[in-house]
């Protein structure tokens, strides 16, 4: 949502024509509608147009363009039906205008009301537990099990906002882009909307890492003609052979998204020029459902007649579709020019599911006649939502585990296939079968070999779970399970067990109080909580039952009217909660206040974050921590996406005071070919040529490749770039870049 009320001079008649043209374009995109549906869509358009008539977006255009554009994405790019289009047109009316949910129900019925309710944000009043972003996300996910269209419309809404993000302030761009990358792109992936997911990731990268984005984009443009020539030559013999065999088909080339290229460069630690799979060839067959599988394998045989395949790169997602319904046959083959090329083979139906995601999946569901893995995932989400004790931030973290992981295929003793995220353990598999089996699991036979609970499963493993009635969930289980289902069930069981034990502890305390003629009242219990520095009464009772609190020490406490007074050792000061600490910062406004680094800031302490070591010249922001004042982070700090997406309300603007130069720590990574005297050359540059103080240095070598990590004191980014250029001139050095200290406590606990 990007809006404001304004009073600019506009050509009203011209705008009216453009709005009507946009509406007509929407109707042309929406196919298979009857007269009644057409009338309802027109009514929704008229209601939205009237409700938003005084509103304009940050770009200055009428606000109504936004709901029309969202509805167009739903109709054109997601192939959703008339009800979704109606809801897309109305999605901001309840949140931003005088229209209520009751009005929506009166005009369009209960179904539309429920969807609009799911799309309406919670009012921005922070509760005392979690961020508003997390609460809004949870509210939206609550609707998945009832109507998946809520999430699809929300994704369309987010996609249009990202496409028009240029008109927003830079700090808002970063916060929205971070939230999109953290939650909405993975959600689009899980719903099978690959084109939406890729575009969301690319647009997030455009604002979060603009320099890298532009560099990769320009390199793709420079190599476009050469790629096109290569592709034409590569597909020519395949197309000729397929036509000769009588196949009806299309051959398309899909260029890898910018964000995917950047991920590959990072994961493989290679430059752009060494990314071999910049594009993929897609062969799409017009073939009946019953012939899809044999025809795809015949086409695979034709492709491999011309080009040598890599056996390790064959992916058969036709026999075992992915959890979101994706089906395709992938192989990677060697071209005559010595380049690996990925080839994807699929039917027209499979391609529509891959492009349009969940909507197309439901369209073909009945004709396919198989069990719906997506419905199974919806069931898992419903079970996750049943855990009412989970706060919004924990929910978002657990839910995200179900979104973006690669999958492995595991078999039961009878050969039933189960799909789990990569990294799953025996215990994850046990809970996937049934909660009772998970709670009592003591191990498993994996391919007829006995393995412990923490054994990490591999693709194709066959499991026979071993249970015991004496087994019960333990705290340490949470350290090695990865699925949200397992985590939720273990936490639930532990809480039930803890409450049962606490009930025993309460009885023990009551007997002890009676023994010493003390009153079992809230004042005495609160005193014991403070004395033993415990967070709540349940923890007190639990520790008493476990024998961790010696109640005989009550004898040492003075007794006065049933109240305790501690003589020797005052109760330790209780650690502040996040809410208590934030209350000290109530005078801060994250939208208006700006931290000027170098000046005193309203009496609050601030310091540079150790995880990313900002220096003058870096784009930075401040983050209110729990116990360490304000920490200054770089915008491209590895922690930024996490903090901005989940706790944006604790982020404030910051900038450097230009007239005060202070040396600050910067970390540099150097990668290259190991040579004699290399370390001496690098240290000589630091100490003699650039006059920089070195804080630490370490070098590792592996098969002739060296990697050095250096921490130096520099004045600003210009000073750092001067040093970097000198390093790049050293013979043998291949790459020089800044690095972030992933071992620092801040990196591992960014919310502190």
* Separation between Cα atoms, residue 366 and residue 354, nearest integer Å: 17
CA distances from 140 to 71, 117, 129 (A): 18, 9, 18
In eight-state DSSP terms, residue 67 is H
Is residue 95 part of the annotated active site? The answer reads yes
The per-residue DSSP string of 130-171 comes to S-HHHHHHHHHHHTTTT-THHHHHHHHHHHHHHHTGGGS-HH
The per-residue DSSP string of 454-523 comes to TPBP-TT-BEEEEE-TT----GGGGGT--SHHHHHHHHHHHHHHHHHHHHHHHHHHHHHHHHTT----HH
Contact 260, 204 (CB under 8 A): no
* Separation between Cα atoms, residue 392 and residue 670, nearest integer Å: 41
* Separation between Cα atoms, residue 240 and residue 529, nearest integer Å: 80
Query: Of 76, 96, 407, 674, which residue is the catalytic one?
Result: 96
- Residue 274 CB-density burial (10 A; 0-12 exposed, 13-18 middle, 19+ buried): exposed
Token pair belonging to 397: 């973290």
In sign, the C-alpha dihedral spanning 87, 92, 98, 102 is positive
Contact 633, 620 (CB under 8 A): yes
Element (H, E) at 453: none
CA-based nearest residue to 653, from 624, 612, 690: 624
In eight-state DSSP terms, residue 404 is S
- 3-class secondary structure, 621: strand
CA-based nearest residue to 141, from 190, 92, 102: 190
The per-residue DSSP string of 222-291 comes to HTHHHHHHHHHHHHHHHHHHHHHHT--EEEEEEEPPHHHHHHHHHHHT--GGG---SEEEEEEE---GGG
- 193 CB-near residues (< 8 Å, 6+ apart): 78, 152, 155, 356, 357, 358
Query: Of 15, 61, 76, 95, which residue is the catalytic one?
Result: 95
* Separation between Cα atoms, residue 194 and residue 191, nearest integer Å: 8
Is residue 277 part of the annotated active site? The answer reads no
Residue at token pair 């994706």: 326
> Would you please indicate which residues are annotated as catalytic (active-site) residues?
95-96
């Amino acid at each position: 949502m990007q809006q404001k009320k304004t009073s600019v001079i506009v050509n009203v008649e011209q705008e009216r024509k453009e709005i009507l043209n946009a509406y007509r374009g929407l109707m042309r995109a929406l196919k298979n509608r009857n007269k009644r549906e057409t009338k309802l869509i027109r009514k929704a358009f008229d209601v939205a147009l009237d409700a938003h008539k005084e509103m304009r977006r940050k770009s200055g255009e009428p606000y109504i363009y936004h709901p029309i554009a969202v509805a167009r994405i739903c109709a054109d790019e997601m192939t959703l039906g008339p009800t979704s289009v109606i809801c897309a047109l109305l999605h901001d009316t309840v949140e931003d205008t005088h229209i209520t949910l009751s009005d929506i129900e009166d005009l369009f019925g209960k179904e539309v009301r429920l969807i609009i309710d799911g799309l309406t944000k919670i009012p921005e009043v922070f509760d005392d537990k979690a961020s508003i972003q997390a609460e809004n996300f949870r509210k939206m996910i609550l609707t998945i099990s009832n109507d998946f269209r809520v999430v699809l419309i929300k994704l369309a809404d987010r996609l249009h906002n990202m496409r028009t993000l240029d008109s927003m302030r830079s700090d808002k761009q970063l916060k929205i882009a971070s939230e999109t990358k953290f939650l909405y792109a993975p959600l689009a992936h899980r719903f099978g909307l690959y084109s939406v997911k890729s575009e969301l990731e690319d647009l997030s990268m455009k604002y979060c890492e603009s320099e890298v984005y532009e560099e990769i984009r320009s390199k793709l443009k420079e190599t476009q003609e050469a790629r096109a020539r290569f592709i034409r030559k590569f597909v020519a013999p395949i197309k000729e052979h397929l036509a000769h065999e009588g196949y009806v088909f299309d051959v398309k080339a899909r260029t890898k998204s910018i964000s995917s290229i950047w991920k590959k460069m990072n994961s493989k630690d290679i430059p752009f020029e060494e990314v071999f799979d910049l594009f993929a060839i897609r062969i799409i067959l017009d073939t009946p459902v019953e012939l899809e599988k044999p025809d795809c394998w015949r086409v695979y045989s034709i492709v491999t007649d011309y080009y040598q395949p890599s056996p390790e790169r064959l992916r058969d997602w036709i026999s075992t579709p992915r959890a979101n319904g994706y089906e395709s046959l992938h192989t990677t083959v060697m071209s005559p020019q010595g380049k690996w090329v990925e080839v994807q083979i699929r039917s027209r139906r499979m391609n529509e599911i891959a492009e349009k995601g969940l909507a197309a999946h439901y369209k073909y569901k009945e004709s396919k006649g198989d069990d719906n893995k997506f419905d199974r995932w919806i069931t898992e989400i419903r079970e996750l939502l049943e855990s009412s004790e989970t706060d919004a931030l924990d929910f978002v973290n657990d839910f995200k585990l179900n979104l973006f992981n690669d999958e492995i295929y595991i078999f039961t003793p009878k050969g039933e296939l189960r799909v789990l995220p990569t990294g799953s353990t025996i215990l994850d598999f046990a809970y996937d079968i049934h909660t009772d089996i998970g709670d009592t699991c003591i191990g498993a036979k994996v391919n007829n070999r006995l393995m412990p609970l923490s054994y990490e499963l591999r693709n194709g493993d066959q499991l026979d779970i071993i249970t015991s009635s004496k087994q019960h969930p333990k705290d340490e289980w949470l350290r090695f399970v990865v699925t949200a289902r397992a985590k939720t069930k273990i936490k639930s069981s532990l809480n039930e067990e803890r409450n049962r034990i606490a009930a025993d502890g309460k009885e023990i305390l009551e007997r002890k109080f009676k023994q010493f003629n003390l009153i079992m009242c809230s004042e005495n219990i609160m005193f014991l909580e403070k004395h033993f520095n415990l967070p709540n009464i349940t923890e007190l009772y639990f520790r008493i039952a476990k024998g961790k609190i010696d109640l005989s020490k009550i004898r040492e406490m003075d007794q006065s009217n049933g109240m305790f007074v501690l003589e020797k050792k005052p109760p330790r000061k209780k650690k502040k909660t996040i809410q208590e600490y934030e209350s000290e910062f109530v005078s801060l406004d994250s939208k208006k206040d700006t931290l000027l680094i170098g000046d005193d800031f309203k009496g609050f302490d601030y310091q540079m974050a150790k995880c990313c070591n900002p220096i003058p010249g870096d784009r930075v922001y401040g983050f209110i921590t729990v116990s360490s004042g304000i920490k200054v982070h770089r915008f491209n700090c590895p922690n930024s996406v996490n903090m901005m997406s989940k706790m944006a309300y604790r982020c404030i603007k910051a900038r450097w005071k230009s007239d005060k130069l202070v040396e600050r720590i910067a970390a540099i990574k150097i990668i290259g070919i190991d040579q004699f005297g290399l370390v001496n050359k690098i240290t000589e540059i630091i100490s003699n040529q650039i006059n920089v103080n070195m804080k630490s240095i370490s070098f590792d070598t592996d098969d002739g490749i060296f990697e050095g990590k250096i921490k130096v004191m520099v004045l600003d980014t210009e000073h750092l770039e001067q040093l970097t250029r000198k390093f790049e001139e050293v013979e043998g050095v291949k790459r020089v870049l800044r690095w972030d200290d992933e071992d620092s406590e801040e990196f591992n606990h960014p919310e502190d």
